[in-house]
Amino acid sequence: MSQENTLTILHLANCSEGGTARYIESLIYSPASCYRHFVLYINAAQSILYDVTANYYHVFSIKENDVWHTDCIFTLLEKAGVTKLGIHLHSFFGDVLTFAEVFCCFPVTATFHDHHFLSENPFVNGKIVADQTHIKRVQNLLGNDSMIIVPSHYLYQQALPYFKKSQLTVIPHAGEAPLTKLSQETQTFINKLKQNAQWQDSKPTMAVIGALNANKGLGALNKWMTEQNQIQLVILGYTAEINKPQATDGCIIHSYYHHTELVALLSAYGVDGVVFFPGIPESFNYVLSDIQGAVPVLAPDCGALGERVITEQLGEVYSLDNYSSDGLTKQFKQLILNEFSPKPLKQSIQSMTKQTEHYYQLNEIIDIPHLTLTPDELNALLADKLHESNVKWELATLSRQRFLLDEQVSSLKKQRELDIKELRKQQAHLESQANYIEELREAIFASRDETLAMQQTFSWRITRPLRKIRQLLSR
């Protein structure tokens, strides 16, 4: 059997969402791939080993009491029929880096998606700070024989001083992605959010896309939102701070989204342009692939993101040196009025895949170790279900369903309150009617008693003949 048919590529990453996961998806689902793929996501809650071919997720605890269960990985791989292994390393901080050292004997391709090859925390007050101890650790892990991929010339320049002896290669992310239409459920979800936000189709509309946090533009976005009300805003993204759909006047938080539907979402919200607020400069590079030049973008004038916006004429950049919320608003308004003629990179997913996998064809492939865990030992490590933080591929759908259900429940509660209020009103009216009837009844009985009493009096009996004569004369 040929190497192409026996080799499995194991992708190692620290998170199942965000730009890195988006990049991994491009490779594992590429029709041009020659190999079988597994993806190992490692995080504190639980780890996931995804068998792409079988579309099956193994969920387990890879670290317990400071003991790494690498034998669990090899057991699962061997049970799946894997014999030879190549590694594609995507993360260089946290537990992933420690765990990756177990696999350094296998052929390793590494992709530097961001600055974490320089430090566990590469940014201090917005400035890049290199940690020489951390860099040395990454150098030892990769050695001189590994292939290192960077998606931009900017990151190439950042990595070159430290990895001159490695096969450092620029392979841009493919600017293509399959497009899917919005489901009826998603359209209903969007319409409800627009209704709640009092959306106006004639008003300029801005989108902010991606996983936002303190290091990725969230602070600047919040400041901008407090200082202007001229532009409608829709946020397509997810973090701990922004994880539930909601809508206020002129602002919509859409939350999770599928990258294949992003172009359709921009159209559904009537987005005129996308803005990337000041943050880590390369973090949202892969989002540009999903936008596919559908609308112009405004990005900071640094890093991989700014480089790609300029090179592919995807919009404009703004200066971080004199950035202000008001200046950004003015530049955005002008941007959406300008003629927009994007020139996306002609990098295809097939080309990107072949370049990425070429390294494995040039190196000796290592057999995986024989499994060491018994079925009982393996089952003790496996979990029954996924932790919610690890089901990014379902959260976009689940969050919309939950929102619509919450809206229905809220609507039912409001209707119930109105029904109760109306019933109480009707009850008060009926009680008032009952009281009136009771008072009338008591008055009738009182009048009857008074009449009977009068009939027994002497004056009533004396005047009776006179009343009789008066009645006859009145006829």
CATH topology identical between 3-174+347-389 and 184-335:
yes
Torsion sign over Cα 265, 269, 275, 279: negative
Q: What SS3 class is residue 43?
A: coil
CB 396 within 8 A of CB 243: no
Predicted TM-score of the model (pTM): 0.76
Angle at 369 between CA 367 and CA 371, to 5 degrees: 135
The pLDDT value given to residue 341:
93
The pLDDT value given to residue 467:
66
Sequential pLDDT tens for the chain (475 residues):
344 446 899 999 987 677 888 888 889 989 899 899 999 988 766 788 889 888 888 888 777 777 777 788 888 888 888 888 889 999 998 888 888 888 878 888 999 998 889 998 887 766 788 899 999 999 998 988 889 999 889 899 999 999 988 889 999 887 677 788 998 989 999 999 999 999 998 899 999 998 787 777 888 888 898 887 789 999 998 766 667 888 999 999 998 888 889 999 999 999 999 999 987 767 788 888 889 899 999 999 888 888 999 999 999 999 988 889 999 999 999 999 999 999 887 778 889 999 999 888 887 777 887 767 777 777 767 665 554 444 554 666 667 777 677 777 777 888 888 888 888 899 988 888 888 888 888 888 877 777 777 666 656 666 666 666 666 666 6
The pLDDT value given to residue 2:
42
The pLDDT value given to residue 14:
85
* Cα separations in angstroms, 264 against 179, 190, 316, 336, 397: 8, 11, 22, 19, 15
Q: Cβ of 331: how many Cβ atoms within 10 Å?
A: 15
Residues of 411-423 as b/e, b for ≥16 C-beta within 10 angstroms?
Answer: eeeeeeeeeeeee
The topology (CATH level 3) of 184-335 is Rossmann fold (3.40.50)
Is 337 buried (19+), middle (13-18) or exposed (0-12) by CB count in 10 A?
A: exposed
- Tokens of residue 422, six digits: 């109306």
Q: Could you tell me which of 64, 62, 57 has the C-alpha nearest to residue 99?
A: 62
Dist. CA 77–CA 369, nearest whole Å: 10
The pLDDT value given to residue 462:
65
DSSP-derived secondary structure for 167-191: EEEE-PPPS-----PPPHHHHHHHH
- CATH assignment of 3-174+347-389? 3.40.50
Spacing of C-alpha 126 from chain mean position:
24
**Domain range summary for the chain, segments of one domain joined by +:** 3-174+347-389, 184-335, 401-462
CB 253 within 8 A of CB 246: yes
* Cα separations in angstroms, 390 against 47, 58, 185, 241: 8, 12, 23, 17
Torsion sign over Cα 381, 383, 386, 388: negative
Q: Residue ranges of the alpha helices (H) in 269-391?
A: 287-291, 303-311, 325-335, 349-357, 375-381
CB 98 within 8 A of CB 14: no
- Tokens of residue 110, six digits: 């590494």
Orientation angle between helical segments 349-357 and 19-28, nearest 10 degrees: 90
> What is the CB-side half-sphere exposure of residue 377 using CA atoms within 13 A?
12
